[in-house]
Amino acid sequence: MSTNIHYKAVPDSVTPRQTLVVGDRQLVQDLYSPKLQKLDGSVQKALELFVSEKLDSISQWSGKTEYKFVHLSGERSRNMGLVRSDLISDVVGGGKGDVSITLVLDTADAVPAAGLAVARAYPMYSRKTGKDNEDRNIYVEFITKNGSVSNEVLSKISITAESIRLCARLVDTPCVKTTIISGTDLRDQGFGGLWNVGKAASNPPALVVLEHNPEKASNDSRYVFVGKGIVYDTGGLSIKISGNMVGMKEDMGGSAACFSAFVSAVKNGYSGYLACVLCLAENAVGPNAQRPDDILTLYSGKTIEVNNTDAEGRLVLADGVAYAAKNLRATHIIDMATLTGAQLITTGNKFASILSNSTSFESKVIQSGQKIGDWCFPILYAPETLKKEFDSKVADFRNSVKDRMNAQTSCAGHFVEICGGLRESGDEAWKGEWAHVDMGKCLPPSGVSQSISHAPLPL
């Protein structure tokens, strides 16, 4: 089944199976009711009842179309962005046939987040069979107090929505053959983290680098996305047990998000330098798997004593950010990963955790997430004290913490920062801004496949 999303009004030639109107009750009555003049009175009466009785939702059929009005709560704290995009994702999606969705919003500033919330509710990947598994079209229209939405904004929303759905498709799709870029060259060139994590798999690990470098860049900034791409995570010899391995095809969500964000930014006409580094590997069990007690040398030159092969994401990310800083001369690095289970405890299942060496860059990423409905929240930044969790007697660091009750999610991010060479001192020290996004346990909308779509664009 193919579900196509169009950010425009439903054409006159199409009779949708459902017309879904989402917004504050009174706002819906004030701004949407004129569109009902041509219909029979039953739909207008349903709208009046929806408002007068303060109902959460109400449905009424007119001909072959079901009209459904859904109240969108205006209750939101300062961390919830411009609109409750999570609620929009919850009420749209599913169903059968063509659908017309009208989002009635208080302000035009809320249009991007609201529109992208719809995209999250319609994943692209499905292997379900049956006669109801047919192609369908979703038409999304916006009504605001500010009037119509410009075609330029709608075009950008459409491009970003494609990238979000592509990200979800990459995560939902079962493990596929990895394109080999370097193979054993990773080992020979010093990528000790990425090589050792993936060397036991049938398909060797790969470092994929994409660059967008306009001839006349609009600024001197060099942004680089770095994504953890563990295409399947068994845990390695520290194997996942008791059902914890199920769903580990999603452990490449960081790379999926970075790739999709990169594509979206380029298609939307970003005029500066932009790169995307994908750290791809399968953390497999086999005769050649890395072992606890092994000592690795990362691309940064740091040595690591492995005490947990299931703490592999930070190893591949450290190689990725070191490459971004050294080889791509990044001024800004954003690494993204499904890194820790502790993220769920730290910032919950709707907010990714963000760790940054810069309060201004941290704020920029958070604001970007609020604009498009991908929420994140800052966590403790304290490398001076937390790096002690990785003390080793035989190497520079160990790869897993000593105390799991001591800010685990922050510790994992600091490992990437420090072992990626971003906190060196001296003349050759990297002086850029860095943000680490842990989206380990962020959940999709209710009833939607377990896709991970966090891809904030701070550009």
Q: Just list the catalytic residues.
A: 240, 314
Pick left, alpha or beta for residue 236 (phi over 0 → left; psi -120 to 50 → alpha; otherwise beta).
left
For the chain, helix (H) and strand (E) counts, in that order, are 13, 16
Token reading at 222:
């060099």
Return the ∠ at Cα 81 (arms to 156 and 21), rounded to 5°. Answer: 70
Collapse the DSSP code of 119 into the 3-class scheme (helix H, G, I; strand E, B; otherwise coil) and give the result.
helix
Q: Which residues are paired to 137 by β-bridges?
A: 4
Pick left, alpha or beta for residue 295 (phi over 0 → left; psi -120 to 50 → alpha; otherwise beta).
beta
Neighbours of 439 (CB within 10 A): 25
Rounded to whole angstroms, the Cα distance separating 326 from 298 reads: 13
Token reading at 377:
């929240």
Pick left, alpha or beta for residue 329 (phi over 0 → left; psi -120 to 50 → alpha; otherwise beta).
left
DSSP per-residue string spanning 255-286: HHHHHHHHHHHHHTT--SEEEEEEEEEEE--S
Rounded to whole angstroms, the Cα distance separating 49 from 52 reads: 5
Residues 6+ apart with CB under 8 A from 449: 123, 125, 126, 168, 172
Rounded to whole angstroms, the Cα distance separating 434 from 68 reads: 45
Q: Are 445 and 89 in contact (CB under 8 A)?
A: yes
Rounded to whole angstroms, the Cα distance separating 181 from 391 reads: 33
